[in-house]
Amino acid sequence: MEYQGEKQEADLERSLFRVVYVLKRALDDWGEEHIKTLNNPHLQATFMPFFMNIGLRGASNSDLAAMFRISKQGASRIVKGLEASGLVRAEKSDKDGRSFMLYLTEDGQRFYKKQLDIINDLKKDYIRLMGSKNYENTIDQLLKMIEYHNG
């Protein structure tokens, strides 16, 4: 049997699991350095994706749970932390009295806009690195992979 060690080593460099893990770590490190949490003890860095997806339009707890593929209870714990930070407020939904809509407070809106600028700077760096078309294609392909796992 022919030795294929070099090919296997090259394949390991391109292993999807390795690439995703290393990218996640790199983004976590980048976030620690760039995303400011206002030294707010209630605002954990892990809440940021949820906070940013509430955005200026608002979102329900169910929306967040579905978006991030977590339980409604898990989303509720994160929402409580966001509310405690003073950046998010909850209002009873007009459509469903059992549901709450989440909105950014005035402080939350200011904070959101600052964070969005920082995140957009990273996106611009990626586009300079790989080109706009390659960046958009990469995002499209990652979304297809996520959709595959969502069944």
Q: List the domains of the chain with CATH numbers.
A: 16-150 (1.10.10.10)
Please report where in the chains the tokens 């078309």 appear, as a residue.
Answer: 133
| pLDDT greater than 80 at residue 40 | no
pTM: predicted TM-score of the whole model, two decimal places: 0.80
What per-residue confidence (pLDDT) applies to 94? Answer: 78
Q: Are 115 and 107 in contact (CB under 8 A)?
A: no
Residue 84 CA to its chain's centroid (Å): 20
- Beta strand 59-60 with 88-92 is unpaired
27 burial class (0-12, 13-18, 19+ CB within 10 angstroms)?
exposed
Q: Which amino acid is at 33?
A: E
Alpha-carbon dihedral 19, 45, 63, 84, rounded to 10 degrees: 170
Please report where in the chains the tokens 């030795």 appear, as a residue.
Answer: 3
Q: pLDDT category, 20, cuts 50, 70, 90?
A: very high
| pLDDT greater than 70 at residue 2 | no
Residue pLDDT, tens place only, 44-97: 888 999 999 999 999 999 999 999 999 999 999 999 999 999 999 999 877 777
Q: What's the CA gap between 120 and 129, in Å, rounded?
A: 14
Q: pLDDT category, 42, cuts 50, 70, 90?
A: confident
Q: Are 61 and 75 in contact (CB under 8 A)?
A: yes
